[in-house]
Amino acid sequence: MGTQVKRAFKYRFYPTKAQAEDLSRTFGCVRKVYNLALQARSEAWTQRGESVGYDATSALLTARKQTDELAYLNQVSAVPLQQTLRHLQSAFSNFWAKRARFPRFKSRKRSRASAEYTRSAFRWRVGELKLAKMSEPLCIRWSRPLPEGIVPSTVTVSQDAAGRWFVSLLCEDADIVPLPIADSAVGIDLGLDHLFTFSTGEKVANPRYERRDRLALARAQRSLYRKQKGSSNRAKARIKVARIHARIAGRRNDHLHKITTRLVRENQTLVIEDLVVSNMVGNRRLARAISDAGWRQFREMLEYKAAWYGREVIVVDRWFPSSKLCSTCCELTAEMPLQVRTWTCSCCGATHDRDVNAARNILAAGLAVAVCGAGVRPQRSTPGGQSVMKQKVRRREP
């Protein structure tokens, strides 16, 4: 039997007034400890050239708890404070491995309010969770049952910008096993008119959740702008704006989860494009629509679900001319403006739907990579037999 998959189950809960105060205090202490450790590690390296690790910051935390200035750190559980030091160590490891940028200080207004508890800091019974230094269990809304017989290894409590409280239970889920091997593969073209177009010809409409709530969001933001900074009315207006954003994000995530789950269950191989969304949102006309589409979230969901269930995700190079290439004869068209949705190949006379044609080319390129390790840039032969590629496509190759 293979290694069990660790999976987080997230639920909303409703704390009492005392629990909310304790958790808010814990969030503040976690943020304070993280910032102190980051400052100590940064100063040690820049001033003395010393590398400070987790053990040194843990010892420093123990010493600082004995001072009058930071004695309030003893009022909360010690486990979340130690966990935030481990998170800082992971952040530095990712930075050294060039997987992330240098760790930044946590802000009370902008950073995520959360605290992580390991098994020694919570008590778990079926349907009941009690955290360290709390007399009552959390009132959790069990929207779905946990897999039978499992015990959470870690518990993460968080509060979002809309004031909602969530608890995430990390468990080893034995129900996640590789699916039977399927004989189907699909190419996926991402777009805005249609959110997804598959090589089978199927198109998924773009729900445009942000556009649905745009008027309500604009009104809430104007109301927030008129409130005096620091006032209680401004705090209430800020929560209203955050709730609208949360509603938009929740609908988007639900839709993407349903699509990705269906794709992984039905196909053995899934081929997508390597889109750099951060660069694409530089287009002022399309930035809002691209952000609302959630392309990056779609790829992340597709990749981890494929890893769960034994599927394969192939990513095609971002410069592959999927829209300009004829999927019938591989003729490369010089120009293909965005407003052209249907076009006819000048070489073979085949008429293509722009998005379906792109999805078929993406699938063909991905299968070529999987089978023989070929490149994803198709070659077009001249009458003399020499293989060439348009300079516009190749200009950014290393």
pLDDT at 98 over 70: yes
Of 392 and 169, the one with more pLDDT: 169
Which entry of 116, 210, 292, 355 is annotated as an active-site residue?
A: 355
What is the reported pLDDT for 373? 55
Average pLDDT over residues 243-255: 95
Instruction: Report pTM.
Output: 0.83
Looking at 30-44, 184-198, 380-394, which range is the least confident one? 380-394
Average pLDDT, the chain: 87
- Mark whether 189 is an active-site residue: yes
pLDDT band at 318 (very low <50, low <70, confident <90, very high): confident
SS (H, E, C) the chain: CCCCEEEEEEEEECCCHHHHHHHHHHHHHHHHHHHHHHHHHHHHHHHHCCCCCHHHHHHHHHHHHCCCCCHHHHHCCHHHHHHHHHHHHHHHHHHHCCCCCCCCCCCCCCCCEEEEEEHHHEEEECCEEEECCCCCCCCEECCCCCCCCCCCCEEEEEECCCCCEEEEEEEEECCCCCCCCCCCEEEEEECCCEEEEECCCCEEECCCHHHHCHHHHHHHHHHHHHCCCCCHHHHHHHHHHHHHHHHHHHHHHHHHHHHHHHHHHHCCEEEEECCCHHHHCCCCCCHHHHHHHCHHHHHHHHHHHHHHHCCEEEEECCCCCCCCECCCCCCECCCCCCCCCEEECCCCCCEEEHHHHHHHHHHHHHHHHHHHCCCCCCCEECCCCCEECCHHHHCCCC
pLDDT tens string 345-355: 878 877 888 88
Which entry of 273, 274, 292, 303 is annotated as an active-site residue?
A: 273
What is the reported pLDDT for 372? 61
Nearest to 167 by CA among 7, 6, 9, 5: 9
Which entry of 22, 116, 189, 292 is annotated as an active-site residue?
A: 189
What is the reported pLDDT for 376? 46
Q: What percent of the chain is modeled with pLDDT above 70?
A: 92
pLDDT at 386 over 70: no
